Amino acid sequence: MIAKHPGIIVTLTDNDGNAFIMIGRCCQAPRGSSISEDKIAAFTVEAMAGDYAHMLQTAMQRFDRR
């Protein structure tokens, strides 16, 4: 799967499976890059629109991960 925002790396492990921590990391990682705050907010809305698996899928579609 090719990330929508390659080069922005987000750690999705080592957080006890807490979805809110993962979403927070995904929102912090692109700050300072060319990704707008609107796109970050849109990610948050999309990630929270479903269950835990949907949130992970949304994060993996957008960012590179460790």
Q: Where are the domains of the chain?
A: 5-65
38 CA to centre of own chain: 14
- What gap in Å lies between CA 1 and CA 33, rounded to an integer? 22
- Using alpha carbons, list the distances in angstroms from residue 32 to 1, 51, 53, 62: 24, 29, 28, 16
Would you state the pLDDT for residue 3? 64
pLDDT per residue as tens digits for the range 29-60: 888 888 888 989 999 999 999 999 999 999 88
Would you state the pLDDT for residue 7? 77
- Using alpha carbons, list the distances in angstroms from residue 10 to 1, 25, 53, 59: 15, 6, 16, 9
Would you state the pLDDT for residue 42? 92
pLDDT per residue as tens digits for the range 1-31: 666 777 788 887 776 788 999 999 999 988 8
Would you state the pLDDT for residue 2? 63
Would you state the pLDDT for residue 54? 96
